[in-house]
Structure 1
């Protein structure tokens, strides 16, 4: 019997509890495809799962990782449209084809085994082909699965971003930088915030962001965003802070604008919580929570990125060994990165 290496979390106190196991290589069942992994992108969800901070169901001794890019090795009975050799990415949620994700029961790397293993078998309906003409790396395509779809959902989920509109991104992580690239490709003006002048310079030079705001030296960044937009406000905001930054997002948003709540990196105490309902009403703003996105949105993002050959932001890659993956987790947690951290197989 053929075997493969798989990484599993033997405990959930630290990513140091990742361990390598030799396990039977899966096969493609009926309506499934077998994929040889080429790259996996890490997310802060992976950190939360490994440290018991993830608030949803996690399988015991789970294989972590949710973002897969690789090559189809074989197809199961009844599968059409795919063949061995196809380059593909795999949807985060193994059930949701369209519309919002309905629950947290089917996401790879949490309630079900994920992608930090050499081969995975998944339902063919969850797989999207990488455009054959693409020059992007497997790591760049892997980063589309959660990060790219989250950014796509934020900019196209309820209304499509239009040329000349303005988008504000909080921080310089993968979602923000990917969203910045998508927004600029759509002809939008872009603003990004960070506490680091060095990171802001880097994003300006490498990704061409139009405006930068250091929220440490300019704590009222909403007022600065209003100034940048001549008092019109920002049309879209990718809200990574959560309760600690939502008031400023509502102050910065344009009338009728869209705030996509993605993260909770800056929490406010209960007695300091802003009156979100009144602030949203006063601007006729849409405040929506984002749970990544459907397979349909993955298809849309892949098509858009492929057609424009957008250079997605992979900052650093590590090798698929237990020690290198542990190092990658630590690097992601350190906050040094601008863009994505990936594992190459």
Structure 2
């Protein structure tokens, strides 16, 4: 039987426990496609899974990662929506075709095996064909799965962003940088925060963000209100969690939208803000984002394809065991602007 390279997490201690194996090639059933993986995109979720910090189910010896772009190389007998040779991506939770995610039992790279391998078989219904002739890299398309869909869900999954509104993005990670591109293309005014003046200068120069705030040297909520002439920000991509949600609620406009995406900055229990009271005082929406459905993935792919833009990628590593560990190290180092990816073509 033919074999292929598969990475598995041997213990939930840290990402150095990810090891390479040779395993039997998967065979798609009648409703599945077999994808030859070209690029895998990393998320902080993958680090949390590896070090035991992920608060949702993780199977033993899991194949990590949820985001891949690849080529269809084999079709199940009942598959009609794609063909051999198509470049595709697959939804984070293949059971979540539309609407809210039902539970945490089916996300790739956690409760079920993920995509950090040379070939993966997935349900055809959860696969989206990518535009032909696109100049967008496979690494960028891979990043659309979680980062692109999450950013799209923040701005269009509930109350759609309108031209002229203001979007504030916390940090320069993948979701923020992708939401920045979506917002700019939608005619919104954009504000980004970081503790690094160097990063802020780079984002302003390369991506055209309208305003920057160094949160180490300024009260960013107060500064955001000043930049909006006291109106406040219409949309906030909240990556910090409990440690920054109070500032977000101070910065948000009346009736605005806060999308809670991450938990990078946890507050001590005694410092937890009164989220309910603050949200009520602003009449705002505070909405948790759990990536998004196949429907949202299709919308995001259509948007990126039509605008000829992609999720920003900072660096791409190879697929040897040493390179995979280096990719995780680079991600946790925090110097990146955009996504960190692994290529199975290098």
TM over 0.5: yes
What does residue range 184-333 of structure 1 map to in structure 2 within 5 Å?
184-218=184-218, 220-333=219-332
What does residue range 44-193 of structure 1 map to in structure 2 within 5 Å?
44-193=44-193
- Residue number in structure 1 paired with 2:31: 31
For residue 19 of structure 2, give the secondary structure of its aligned residue in structure 1.
Answer: strand
- Residue number in structure 2 paired with 1:340: 339
Once the 2 structures are TM-superposed, how far is the Cα of residue 310 of structure 1 from its aligned partner? 1.0
Once the 2 structures are TM-superposed, how far is the Cα of residue 252 of structure 1 from its aligned partner? 0.6
For residue 162 of structure 2, give the secondary structure of its aligned residue in structure 1.
Answer: coil
CA distance in 2, matches of 1:73, 1:211: 45
Asked if the contact 2:141/2:310 (under 8 Å) is kept, the reply is: no
Tell me how large the CA RMSD over aligned residues is.
Answer: 0.7
CA distance in 1, matches of 2:46, 2:222: 35
TM-score in terms of structure 1 length? 0.99
- Bigger shift: residues 263-272 or 88-97: 263-272
- Bigger shift: residues 25-34 or 294-303: 25-34
Once the 2 structures are TM-superposed, how far is the Cα of residue 311 of structure 1 from its aligned partner? 3.7
CA distance in 1, matches of 2:174, 2:81: 31
Deviations 1:55-110 (Å, cap 9, x if unpaired)? 11111111101001000001101110211000000100010111111111000011
Once the 2 structures are TM-superposed, how far is the Cα of residue 341 of structure 1 from its aligned partner? 0.2
Once the 2 structures are TM-superposed, how far is the Cα of residue 3 of structure 1 from its aligned partner? 0.5
Once the 2 structures are TM-superposed, how far is the Cα of residue 188 of structure 1 from its aligned partner? 0.4
Deviations 1:90-147 (Å, cap 9, x if unpaired)? 1000101111111110000111111011000001001001011311010000000000
CA distance in 2, matches of 1:216, 1:133: 43
Deviations 1:208-243 (Å, cap 9, x if unpaired)? 10000000000x111100110011110000001111
Q: Which runs of 4+ in 1 moved over 2 A?
A: none
CA distance in 1, matches of 2:17, 2:222: 45
For residue 47 of structure 2, give the secondary structure of its aligned residue in structure 1.
Answer: helix
CA distance in 1, matches of 2:240, 2:117: 32
- Residue number in structure 2 paired with 1:4: 4
Asked if the contact 2:240/2:262 (under 8 Å) is kept, the reply is: yes
For residue 266 of structure 1, give the secondary structure of its aligned residue in structure 2.
Answer: coil
CA distance in 2, matches of 1:86, 1:137: 15
Deviations 1:284-324 (Å, cap 9, x if unpaired)? 10001000000100000000000001142100000111110
CA distance in 2, matches of 1:244, 1:19: 34
Once the 2 structures are TM-superposed, how far is the Cα of residue 327 of structure 1 from its aligned partner? 0.6
Once the 2 structures are TM-superposed, how far is the Cα of residue 28 of structure 1 from its aligned partner? 1.7
